Structure 1
Amino acid sequence: MEKFCIDIIAATPNPQQLVWAAMHQDYSEDYVWHSRDRWPHEQRSGELIVKHLLAGERGHYGCLEHPQITFNVGYFPHSMMQQVRTHRVGVSFDVQCLTANTQVTFVNDKGEAHLELKKTIGELYELWTKGEQSFPQRAIPVIKGESSGCYHRDGKNHIRKMNLRVLNENNGLFETGTIKDVIIRGIQPVYRVTLADGKTLDCTVNHRLFTSAGWQTMGDAVGLVTSADGCVIKLTKSCSVMCNGMAVANKTNPLDWQSQLQSADTNIQAHPVKVTKVKYLGEHKTYDLEVESQWHNFVANGMVVHNSFRYTGQRIINVAQGKQDIEEVFYLRPVGNYTNRQGKRYFYSEAQRNEDLKWCLEACKRYQQRIEEGLSEEHARGLIPFDARQNFVLSCNMRSLMHLLDLRWKKDAQLEAQKFCELLYVHFEQWAPAVAQWYKENRAKKAKLSP
């Protein structure tokens, strides 16, 4: 359980004051906003809502639903994540996203990238979903309200034929791939990453960037530290992102240097550029690509970013090949004494645990074999042990957060879920201290439903 972690991506500032304002409006004929200069401060607001709303069992608990908080949850077993997602919270799996204005680089048949070959990811999504507008001699409009002079044909085929610039991660040279899907990811908290050369990228905190240290989420790469509202940003690490590269010549023929600089795309090499600033932009509609290539990446606003795909088994293959430790990918309980919900006591021995680790390894090898035989990842994943570690994003309001703690912090809950709640509570206490203290004294671990 030592790998388990939870961090705040974004949270409503002054949540207790917000609840107080909503509660106060319930009982006031006046327009509460007009008296905002006389609102109690955050600490006092917490004391008042505990006294008049929570401790008094007054009802009208809807005002607890206004403050929102979003967590990044890491390395928990799949079984626990399945339990969490059944409750009144919003869960999305390791979602990495880019905003609509992100420019994607394509190349022509000669491997040359030009401005006219670039499209924003928002434009790609429109083309992918709505089709390509054309003006034939005999047009049949297929969209209501559209003029008879145009029609929409399938845009997916057009996009699939475009040469997407991707990076060969082994040699640092650019190659081409194709787009398999264009995905909308909904509204997410977004940050702007600025590089030393002026490039910017608007992305979610967990979008993976190819850095000088390999693949890292944006937040991990820069050691992102934010305030509860996500606005106050500190960078605790210095990192460089690999960018759309510099032309390099084939040195086996130095006499033809200039012509080689204009030759194939494989002569373009990525180069690192330092991150200088990260700024929180608020919540925006987001998108991502699924890439059909050996290299699951593409160039976004000149930076090499990881693509999203519905399912990837690369970490499973890494285990089979000895590139990743089994317990980085799978979760097994430590050796020790346990009790189930029926009161049965048992001991999970070191020998049993070692056997289970071997079984996980064999399952990874079988998975790799099936992939090599041509099975899709979605098909082959049925062979993977259930408790693969999961990273996900969890969003909830103050009321549903207490509801989740009520259900999963009780003494007979799954041990991993109890640990999950312990980590959640730490952030709850920092975010809304008065409400969290009331919860701890009156409801924690008592299996009640949220107020």
Structure 2
Amino acid sequence: MTTPAALSPTLFPLGDGIGSVALVQHVGDDKMIVNAARVSFGGDSDAPLNDRDEKLIRYLLRHQHGSPFEHNLITFKVVCPIFVDRQMVRHRVGTCLTGDAVVTFVNTNGETVPKLRKTVAELYRMWTQGEAHSLTAPPAQVATALGVLREADGRYGALAEAIRASGLSRNTVKRYVSGHIVGHRNSRKRIRNMRLRVLNEDTGLFTTGHIADVMYQGEQPVYRVMLADGKALTMTPHHRVLTSQGWQTMGEALGLEIQGKTATMSREAFFMVNGLDVYRDREWMAAQRAQGRSVQQIADEAGCSYHTIRKWLKVHGLQFAHEERAFPSGHTPWNRGKSGYRAPRVFTEEHRAAIRAARSGERSNFWKGGVSSERANINRWTWEQSRRVHEKFQFTCQSCGERRPELHAHHIVPVWADRSLALSFDNLVTVCADCHRNIHRSQASELAFARQLNPDVILNGERPKPRGRKLKAHPVKVVKVEYLGIQPTYDLEVAGDWQNFVANGIVVHNSKNEISGRYVEMQERNFTPTSFRKQAPSNRQASVEDDGTLDQAAAAAVWAEAWRQAFGAYQELLRLGVTREQARGVLPLSLYTESYYTFNVRSLLHFLGLRDHEGAQYETRLYARAMAELAEPLFPVTFREWRELHV
């Protein structure tokens, strides 16, 4: 059951005719909650709600069985002051993708490989349930080993007998006997550390970010969007995607028209996708040329070869002209004015070295491989020494001080800082896998750890930048959209400067959908309180009503003047040609913003319990009450039982 947007009720919590809460759509009812609870034992039915069903809802709420309430969804469009929006944002549930959407993660060079790809459903399982421990052995082999040990009852040689019988290693059997092995481990830290591909919206180039949360959004109506290059993504119509016209909801971008189970697009749209090498983009290459960069500098910036850049400069018609060649001012070519000469074939030692450097090794067209690189040899040697290093430090991480099953040998002075210490045993120390990743997160963290062990250490030079080609987002036409029914949906919250990620190769926004001052000019809509409150003397987060000591007129005048100056400065910056994304920085928190919020019933009740509470901000409480007023008629039994429990 879905409420059409055209019939959606709207409430104005602040009474000023601007701030509003509108019901956009909803899926489900009280009966769906009951059926979700009973489906596991075949007790769901289409019969009307009865007394027994109401008792079940009361039981679920009383004993905090939340999952049956997650299959119903309510979407609100909220127009509120920014300071109210910030109070609500911690509890929002965003628009969604289906579980088969593949999220792109990259390695340290910014490159994606198949083993790094995860579907949203996989990420949710890892986030909520964890994952199988890497040291977990097959249950049958473990049972065999433990059975032999029980029968041996402490007899000498029992451990060796158990090892032979099970086929497991000595250390694995000892770990199971000591109880150090668990079936699953918490994976949230691992997910947060994975490098998520995100788009730097200033440069148009892809960089990396990190996941802050993975959320299940319940079952919602979803639509599959197909692009001309074969990419496809299934999502709700309110999920925002990056188009050639900026951020838009999928429904807005396509002009989505829904008639029953048929979905059609009424306008042409281009979604931004990843994977275009920057040197293939003429605008990027032209910008590099305009900055006066040489072919080699452009190649270094793009992460490709000199010859590739020369080729694509020609493709784009951006070749270097004769007068741009790197000759010093006043240079005279050695052969000017000469004719009929024959250059003597005399090679200096420097000339021979240059020829060898240009044509030997990997640069030769006869190259068929070679000896291992220096870096590979250092890695091999370090691994060979790791056992001795761990014994030296009693198998204890020298960063966190704990004994862990997965230990690494770490160079105190990094290889990039001093090659002469790369094969020095005294330069190695034991760290656990988690600490090792954190140490190598930046040059500053490497230096900080090195100075923990040796305060006098100095790291010379700069850590090499990650290799890998730079990729640019580019538009691809949408060719088809189709309705796929109601399916489980999920979403991610992304930490960092750029609130987006790549799913199935398409750039999408993370969960919260808010009007963006980067793409539209903000309207002159300011919230002014009808009366001003005083700071609570005993609670720095609360306020109390004015007892007559506040000069209300003076406070209102200060508020109005601050707004006038701030919005005037915003308009003046735009007039001067400053980009919208920077000009909006002077706008105050009283500015009205617009957002879509989608809750499942469980998260909505949790939100109302926190934000319609005597300790919450007054304006935020008004919005929470408006949401409850719109949602309660849709789930009357659930709200009635919930209110009785919270009286």
- TM-score grouping bracket, smaller chain normalisation: 0.5 to 0.7
For 2:115 and 2:273, locate their aligned partners in 1 and report how far apart those are by CA, in whole Å: 19
CA contact (8 A) 1:190 1:202 kept: no
Deviation per residue, 1:108-151 (Å, 9 max, x gap) = 333322222211122223334414621276459999xx996x65
Q: How does 1:23-38 map to 2 (within 5 A)?
A: none
Query: Paired residue for 2:25?
Result: 9
The structure in which a higher percent of residues are strand is 1
SS across alignment from 1:134: coil
CA distance in 1, matches of 2:193, 2:82: 37
Whose RCO is larger (CA < 8 A, sep 6+)? 2
Aligned: 1:296 with 2:296: no
Match of 1:284 in 2: 488
1:255 alignment partner AA:
H
User: What secondary structure is seen at the aligned counterpart in 1 of 2:252?
Assistant: helix
1:22-171 equivalences under 5 Å are 70-76=74-80, 93=92, 95-129=94-128, 130-131=130-131, 133-135=133-135, 138-139=171-172, 151-171=183-203
- Rounded to whole Å, the distance in 2 between the matches of 1:2 and 1:203 is 30
C-alpha spacing 1:8/1:140, structure 2 compared with 1 (3 Å):
farther
Deviations 1:191-219 (A, max 9, x none): 12322333222223322211111112223
C-alpha contact 1:189 1:283 (8 A) present in aligned 2: yes
Shift in Å, 1:167? 1.4
Equivalent position amino acid for 1:192 in 2: Y
Give 1:407-418 correspondences, 5 Å limit. Answer: none
- The root-mean-square deviation of aligned C-alpha atoms, in Å, is 6.1
Specify whether residues 132 and 210 from structure 1 end up closer, same or farther in structure 2 by C-alpha distance, changes over 3 A only. farther
Indicate the residue corresponding to 2:249 in structure 1.
217
Residue 305 of structure 1 deviates from its aligned partner by 0.9
Deviation string, structure 1 residues 54-111 (Cα, Å, up to 9, x no partner):
xxxxx9998xx9xx884432324589999xx9xxxxx973612222221011223333
* Partners of 1:276 and 1:268 in 2: CA distance: 24
Residues 276 and 472 in structure 2, CA contact (< 8 A), matched pair in contact too: yes
Residue 168 (structure 1) shift: 1.9
The one-letter code of the counterpart of 2:122 is E
Please tell me whether the aligned partners of residues 193 and 278 of structure 1 are also in contact (alpha carbons under 8 angstroms).
yes
Give 3-state SS (helix, strand or coil) of 2:470's partner.
helix
Deviations 1:359-392 (A, max 9, x none): 9879x9xxxxxxxxxxxxxxxxxx9459765532
Structure 1 contact 245–271 (Cα < 8 Å) conserved:
no
Task: Give the conservation status (yes or no) of the 8 Å contact 2:82–2:589.
Answer: no
SS at match of 2:598: strand
CA-to-aligned-CA distance 1:18-61 (integer Å, 9 cap, x gap): 9xxxxxxxxxxxxx98xx9xxxxxxxxxxxxxxxxxxxxxx999
Alignment correspondent of 1:308: 511
Are 2:475 and 1:271 aligned?
yes
Residue 300 (structure 1) shift:
0.4
Q: Deviations over 1:251-275 (max 9, x none)?
A: 56373349999x7242444333325
Contact 2:256 2:263 in 1 (8 A): yes
Larger radius of gyration: 2
The structural deviation recorded for 1:297 is 1.4
- Rate the CA distance shift 1:332–1:135 in 2: closer, same or farther, 3 A: same
Amino acid at match of 1:237: R
Change (3 A) 1:185 1:332: farther
Amino acid corresponding to residue 76 of structure 2 in structure 1: N
TM-score for both structures, normalised by structure 2: 0.39
Q: What's the counterpart of residue 208 of structure 2?
A: 177
SS in structure 1 at match of 2:109: coil
Matched with 2:522 is 325
Listed as ranges, the gaps of 5+ residues in structure 2 are 1-16, 32-44, 58-71, 137-168, 290-294, 296-305, 314-466, 531-551, 571-587, 606-618, 635-647
Q: Say how many residue pairs are matched.
A: 338
Instruction: From the superposition, tell whether residues 168 and 139 of structure 1 become closer, same or farther in structure 2 (CA, over 3 Å).
Output: same
- Separation in structure 1 between the aligned mates of residue 599 and residue 471 of structure 2, nearest angstrom: 43
1:324-343 counterparts in 2 under 5 A?
324-325=521-522, 327=524, 331-332=527-528
Q: Write the mapping of 1:306-385 to structure 2, written as runs, cut at 5 A.
A: 306-308=509-511, 324-325=521-522, 327=524, 331-332=527-528, 354-355=560-561, 357-358=563-564, 384-385=589-590
